[in-house]
Amino acid sequence: MLGKGSFGTFMATSRNPDSFPPPEMAVKFAPVQFSHTLRSEKEIMSNLNGCPNLIQCLGEETTVGGDGSALFYNLMLELATGGTLSDRSSSGGLPEPEMRSHTRSILVGLDHIHSHAYVHCDIKPDNILLVPDGENSFTVKISDFGLAKRETVGPGKWQGTLMYLPPKAITKGLQEAAWDVWAEGCVVGEMLTGRPLWKPGKEEEILRRIGGDWEYLRIQKCV
């Protein structure tokens, strides 16, 4: 098992090497009756397929559980064996050339997402995966489209990971492309320092800081 999230469970799997999808891939699965979000994610990823800086959707299938009593919806995804950007940068930050390269790759992915009128809504180091493309070399790819939505102009409820939300998301609930760009700025700061841009604290306190109660603003030093 690779992990477990709000919308499904991840596992790595192997198949016949002559089959499609490829012999090694990641599978995100959930019971059929709870698979609405995964099905929505599949539709979004299929619409976005083709960008080298996005994890690719390889297909879907429904299978029977081991005891034969339950049906599972399986979303088949490209496997990233290099871990996450969070893993890569947590030991004290990245060298500037590597940080620049990863930043450029993430922005290419975001441009592709935004050009199709979607907002990812959860850009963070844990959702940036590394796919090996040579010795000590990686292609950076955006993953996890479970919260992705069409861009909206009206108010709504904020969603995503609090430490990477922009002020507008909290005060107005707007889902805009700029939302992802703000989050990417937070990711860049984390790549440089190896720690979150915003000082950890209680949710209410962080909401005040990001939402504009500047009396409480305390951004950690980045240099």
For the annotated catalytic residues, the residue numbers are 122
> Distance of CA 69 to CAs 9, 32, 66, 73, 110, Å?
18, 12, 8, 14, 41
DSSP string, 154-203: S-----S-GGG--HHHHHT----HHHHHHHHHHHHHHHHHSS-SBPP--H
Cβ proximity of 160 and 121 under 8 Å:
yes
β-bridge partners, 28: 10, 75
Residue 116 burial (CB count, 10 A) = 12
Cβ proximity of 112 and 148 under 8 Å:
no
